[in-house]
């Protein structure tokens, strides 16, 4: 489900323009790649007065074809609004606001909100303690571009998200998340056909985790620390403040990114847009103080490319999009102990660090979209194909033991949407199909010291289920039916219902079931 | 078309530039250090070849077992971390079986250190006739799912020899502080204040028998710590301490111990009661229900009583109020000891006995009905001719593999391991032995 969140309503004026494509939000973004780049200075290149979207959606998912951090029965509601507005000849503005609420049954396993984002994770040791999880996310974003003259412009962008998640069955845990993304950039356009941009980026994401046992029985609950590839030491009791997951205080998983991006665009009717982005990542887990430990410290880099080749005709638009990324991360575990000098408080003494994880992720997506009949209120026919590739290689070292993990996922899809004009409105029918497969080695274990006794523990129950979810071949199909009503002043109201069904090609060995169904109902306004 | 190919070329260049294959398994990415551990006795290198030194990391991910060279030293390569080294050496000196044992948690491989040479001091261990066989002090789950308790605590002492033992002067105590993970004011840096003193800090009270007690060869005495009743009547997970042969730490004659919760079964005679003189506050003996440092000593009752009543014998390091007084119990009178830690708090725990009394620790999780039980000395037990065909093996929790209780039921005489090292002398038994 992809929701767009509207900007601050007070800054928007409801224009009476009847330009058709500006009311189709996705079309506007696909035709103007600068609008979604990290350089807010590019906002000024969109010359229409305004395009806005308000959308309310409800998504229902069912099926056991889900990762160990997911639910086989969940629902999500989201309200959002987003807008691009040209305030004057020199100032352009973008804003987005959204709220989402998610609730899922039979959830447990992973404790962090986005497990794959982190180099280390904490997992409930047993799959018999599943329960309800609920998650809320608030997001507010805005960007401003100012054109000094025909050639130079500058812009700033800020995105702020806050969220929380709770599990309502022992072992319970609470998550509180804050994500702040800031960028500032400049753009130089020597002619109408060429533009070069440079932006600086800073992002800070902190997720705090705390566990709690509410039950009064003497049942013991354990957490396992996945240091990479579901390998770690023995499970730790969820009790007190001395283990990785604390029962008495929040511990932060902090990530900071800083870097820069370079944009380059050339052409008019045939346009080539490129953005190269490089970010340095650093982070840690634990509370930084003299008496509480920082358990892990990690760092890495992100290299991204986004490119669009756009062919714009009088009645059509074709777009080839390629995005690719390489993310590297290395995680170090601090070796520490607690010491107490006579008459003083207990403090943490660090002995040094051991590198426990090195990981490289490669990802690429290639898409082709064609919008036909773009001279009408809406494109009469839209179709596209896409292909994706994801590859992970990682090495976990808990000396003298090590584990290598690798996987590759390949996907492909196609879709088509036909819009049928009716009196004062339009009926849309969309169909799509997808295919995904994967392969790899979940765990290749060994020892650097033959004969040494290893006490590492492999969490196979979770590992096998997650690996099957990531690599098992599957096909998917979806249908969407929508109706749009056009008001006289350029505003359009829509409602759409879609259903997507995915099924594994063979019966699963570890997953609860082989299929998953997603039903989406959305209503909204374009203006 | 040219722009399309330029687009694809940029993308391909990006793809090739991004490849970075992982290093192979023969190239560990952790920084390693060359570490040596020298065995020593009374500060002198113990130059004996062939002794296995068990080295385990605090993170719980690896153990190593290098063997000493002719100089009594082992060499190994380790990453940064905190390690415990333990060694036991059995020999014969002047025709007498002699045991050397030692353990140290001071193997700290620090990244910025200037030296990675460590010493493992060994102590000559005198085998004791009476030993601590079992400490069941951390409680069990309640029958109805509500919170359990540890009122059913008991300890077992055992005659580890083939001659009758006089246990009349055996006394029972625990070492301060209550729990291993509590702030321990007896530590300064890595060292215990009484490491080289002739006493250990006994806390709360010290118990003694009120009648003569003898223990037959390879036999035991069970002492109920709090209540001596049949706890299984209300909780099947608990134990039955109402056996008339059992002993009981009685509060009856101790006016300060006014807690009437702890009762005794009618069948246990008064001659089986123990008594004590408390030197702290509190209305009952406060043996920890998660991590006690339990010991037994040998001392005449009158001497114990006088020692506990003499304020000049109190140590006030923990505080200057009665709640913090400890009695300096002479090391020379300590017979046996075991340092029990809470599994959940191992990272923040410290040993409480000096190395000449006991080294190492044994950790367990409380409220599960588990108990600390001594390991069997397989070599000595199997050497007894009367044990032929009676030893039951296949018990994985004991390093010897011998199921002591099953073997005793089959008529075997068990000799337990006694190296003064809680880590190697004890294991966590899932079920109390008297169940």
Q: Which two tokens stand for residue A191?
A: 């002619």
Instruction: Find chain B residues with C-beta within 8 A of A309's C-beta.
Output: 3-4, 7
Contacts of B60 in chain A (CB under 8 A): 233-234, 455
pLDDT of residue A113: 94
* Tokens matching residue A180: 């702040």
Which chain B residues are within 8 Å of A324, Cβ to Cβ? 11, 14-15, 18
Structure tokens at B94: 């002047």
pLDDT at residue A321 is higher than 90? yes
Inform me whether the pLDDT recorded for B5 exceeds 70: no
- DSSP-assigned letter for residue B14: H
CA distance A342 to chain B (A): 5
Per CB-CB distance under 8 Å, the chain B contacts of A356 are: 30
In 3D, which of B300, B369, B311, B417 has the Cα closest to residue B149? B369
What is the C-alpha separation between B309 and B316, in angstroms, rounded? 15
Report the residue from A234, A337, A342 with minimal CB separation from B185. Answer: A342
Which residue did the predictor score with more confidence, A125 or A9? A125
pLDDT band for position A376 (50/70/90)?
A: low
Average pLDDT over residues B78-107: 86
pLDDT of residue B18: 40
Q: What's the average model confidence in pLDDT over B281-303?
A: 93
- Which residues make beta-bridge pairs with A80? A55, A98
Q: Provide the pLDDT for residue A31.
A: 84
Q: Write the DSSP string, A427-472.
A: EEEEEEEEEEEEEEEEEEEEESSTTPEE--EE-HHHHHHHHHHHHS
Taking only the tens place, the pLDDT of each residue in A444-487 is 999 888 777 778 889 999 999 999 999 999 999 999 999 999 88
Contact list in B for residue A397 (CB cut-off 8 A) is 28-30
Q: Taking chain A, what is the end-to-end CA distance rounded to the nearest angstrom?
A: 20
Question: How crowded is residue B316: how many other Cβ atoms within 10 Å of its Cβ?
Answer: 11
**Cα–Cα separations (whole angstroms), residue B110 to B27, B37, B120, B187, B340:** 22, 15, 18, 21, 27
Which token pair is B352? 């409480």
Question: Does A324 contact B15 at a Cβ distance shorter than 8 Å?
Answer: yes
pLDDT at A20 (0 to 100) = 42
User: Token match 């050639």: residue?
Assistant: A151
Mean pLDDT of A318-346: 89
- Minimal-distance CA residue of chain A relative to B17: A326
At residue B147 the predicted structure's pLDDT band, cuts being 50, 70 and 90, is low
Question: Is the confidence at residue A152, as pLDDT, over 50?
Answer: yes
> With 80 as the cut, is the pLDDT of residue B383 above it?
yes
Residue B24, pLDDT > 70, answer: no
Give me the residue from A340, A401, A449 closest to B184, CB to CB. Answer: A340
Q: Nearest CA of chain A to the CA of B165: how many Å? A: 40
To the nearest whole Å, the CA of A135 is away from the closest chain B CA by 30
Structure confidence by residue, pLDDT tens digits, A397-447: 999 999 999 999 999 999 999 999 998 889 999 999 999 999 999 999 998
CB B344 within 8 A of CB B365: yes
Measured in angstroms, the CA of B172 and the nearest CA of chain A are apart by 28
Give the confidence band of B148 by pLDDT, cuts at 50, 70, 90.
confident
Nearest to A334 by CA among A347, A349, A352, A348: A352
Distance from CA of A437 to the nearest CA of B (A): 21
Contacts of residue A492, Cβ cutoff 8 Å, sequence gap at least 6 = A23, A484, A485, A486, A525, A526, A527
**Rounded-to-integer distance, Cα A159 and Cα A113, Å:** 19
Would you call B25 and A404 a contact, using CB atoms and an 8 Å cutoff? yes
Please name the member of B58, B62, B82 whose beta carbon is closest to the beta carbon of A400: B62
Identify all chain B residues contacting A335, using CB atoms and an 8 Å cutoff.
59, 79-82, 109
**Predicted ipTM of the assembly:** 0.80
Dihedral over Cα of B400, B420, B134, B185: its sign = negative
pTM of the predicted model, to two decimals?
0.83
From chain A, pick out residues whose CB is under 8 angstroms from the CB of B145: 217
């Amino acid at each position: 489900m992809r929701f767009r969140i509207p900007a601050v309503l007070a800054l928007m004026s409801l224009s009476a323009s009847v330009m058709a494509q500006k009311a189709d939000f996705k079309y506007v973004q696909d035709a103007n790649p600068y609008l979604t780049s990290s350089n807010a200075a590019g906002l000024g290149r969109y010359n229409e007065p305004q395009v806005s979207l308000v959308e309310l959606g409800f998504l229902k998912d069912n099926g056991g074809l889900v990762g160990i951090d997911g639910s086989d029965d969940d629902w999500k509601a989201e309200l959002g609004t987003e807008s691009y507005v040209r305030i004057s000849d020199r100032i352009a503005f973008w804003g987005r606001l959204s709220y989402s609420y998610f609730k899922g049954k039979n959830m447990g396993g992973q404790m962090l909100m986005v497990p794959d984002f982190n180099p280390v994770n904490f997992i409930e040791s047993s799959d018999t303690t599943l329960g309800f999880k609920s998650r809320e996310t608030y997001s507010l974003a805005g960007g401003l571009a100012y054109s000094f003259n025909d050639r130079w412009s500058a812009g700033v962008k800020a995105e702020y998200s806050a969220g929380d998640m709770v599990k309502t069955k022992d072992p319970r845990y609470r998550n509180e998340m804050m994500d702040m993304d800031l960028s500032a950039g400049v753009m130089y356009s020597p002619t109408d056909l060429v533009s070069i941009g440079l932006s600086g980026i800073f992002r800070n994401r902190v997720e705090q985790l705390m566990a709690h046992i509410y039950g009064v029985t003497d049942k013991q609950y354990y957490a396992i620390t996945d240091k990479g590839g579901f390998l770690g030491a023995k499970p730790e009791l969820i009790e007190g403040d001395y283990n990785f997951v604390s029962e008495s205080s929040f511990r932060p998983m902090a990530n900071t990114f800083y870097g820069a991006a370079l944009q380059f665009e050339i052409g008019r009717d045939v346009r080539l847009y490129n953005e190269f982005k490089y970010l340095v990542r650093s982070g840690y887990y634990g509370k930084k103080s003299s008496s509480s430990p920082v358990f892990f410290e990690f760092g890495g880099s992100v290299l991204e490319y986004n490119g669009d080749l756009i062919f714009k005709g009088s009645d059509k638009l074709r777009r080839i999009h390629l995005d690719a990324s390489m993310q590297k991360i290395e995680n170090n575990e601090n070796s520490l102990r607690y010491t107490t000098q006579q008459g003083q408080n207990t403090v943490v003494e660090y002995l040094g660090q051991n590198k426990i994880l090195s990981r490289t992720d490669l990802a690429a997506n290639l898409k082709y979209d064609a919008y036909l009949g773009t001279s009408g209120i809406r494109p009469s026919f839209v179709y596209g194909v896409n292909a994706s590739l994801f590859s992970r290689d990682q090495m976990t070292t808990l000396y003298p033991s090590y584990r290598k993990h690798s996987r590759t996922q390949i996907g492909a899809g196609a879709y088509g949407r036909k819009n049928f004009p009716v009196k004062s409105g339009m009926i849309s029918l969309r169909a799509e199909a997808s295919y995904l497969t994967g392969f790899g080695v979940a765990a290749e274990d060994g020892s650097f010291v033959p004969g040494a006794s290893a006490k590492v523990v492999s969490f196979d129950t979770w590992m096998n289920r997650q690996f099957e979810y990531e690599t098992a071949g599957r096909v998917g199909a979806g249908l969407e039916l929508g109706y749009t009503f056009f008001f006289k002043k350029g505003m359009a109201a829509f409602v759409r219902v879609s259903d997507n069904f995915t099924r594994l090609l063979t019966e699963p060995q570890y997953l609860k079931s082989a299929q998953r169904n997603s039903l989406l109902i959305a209503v909204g306004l374009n203006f | 078309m040219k722009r399309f190919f330029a687009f694809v070329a940029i993308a391909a260049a990006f793809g090739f530039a991004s490849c970075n294959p992982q290093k192979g398994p023969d190239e560990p990415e952790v920084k390693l250090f060359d570490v040596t551990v020298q065995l020593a006795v009374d500060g002198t290198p113990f130059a004996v070849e062939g002794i296995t030194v068990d080295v385990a990391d605090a993170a719980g991910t690896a153990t190593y077992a290098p063997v000493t060279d002719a100089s009594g030293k082992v060499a190994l390569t380790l990453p940064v971390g905190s390690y415990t080294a333990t060694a036991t050496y059995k020999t014969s000196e002047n025709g007498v079986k002699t045991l050397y044992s030692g353990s140290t948690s001071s193997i700290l491989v620090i990244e910025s250190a200037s030296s990675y040479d460590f010493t493992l001091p060994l102590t000559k261990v005198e085998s004791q006739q009476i030993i601590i066989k079992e400490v069941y002090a951390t409680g069990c789950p309640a029958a109805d799912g509500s919170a359990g308790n540890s009122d059913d605590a008991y300890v077992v002492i055992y005659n580890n020899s083939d001659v009758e033992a006089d246990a009349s002067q055996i006394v029972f105590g625990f070492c301060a502080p209550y729990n291993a993970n509590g702030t321990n004011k007896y530590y300064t840096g890595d060292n215990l204040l009484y490491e080289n003193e002739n006493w250990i800090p006994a806390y709360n009270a010290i118990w003694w028998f009120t009648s003569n007690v003898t223990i037959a060869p390879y036999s035991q005495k069970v002492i109920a710590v709090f209540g001596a009743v049949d706890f299984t009547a209300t909780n099947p997970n608990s134990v039955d301490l109402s056996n008339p042969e059992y002993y009981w730490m009685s509060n009856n004659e101790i006016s300060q111990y006014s807690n009437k919760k702890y009762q005794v079964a009618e069948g246990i005679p008064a001659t089986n009661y123990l008594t004590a003189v408390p030197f702290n506050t509190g209305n009952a003996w406060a043996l920890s229900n998660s991590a006690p440092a339990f010991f037994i000593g040998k001392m005449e009752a009158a001497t114990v009583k006088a020692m506990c009543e003499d304020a000049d014998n109190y140590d006030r390091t923990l505080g200057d109020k009665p709640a913090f007084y400890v009695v300096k119990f002479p090391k020379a009178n300590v017979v046996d000891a075991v340092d029990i830690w809470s599994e959940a708090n191992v990272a923040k725990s410290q040993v409480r006995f000096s190395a000449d009394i006991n080294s190492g620790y044994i950790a367990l999780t409380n409220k599960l009905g588990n108990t600390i039980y001594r390991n069997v000395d397989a070599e000595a037990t199997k050497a007894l001719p009367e044990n032929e065909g009676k030893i039951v093996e296949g018990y994985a929790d004991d390093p010897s593999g011998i199921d002591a209780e099953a073997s005793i039921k089959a008529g075997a005489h068990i000799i337990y391991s006694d190296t003064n090292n809680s880590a190697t002398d004890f294991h966590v038994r899932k079920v109390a032995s008297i169940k």
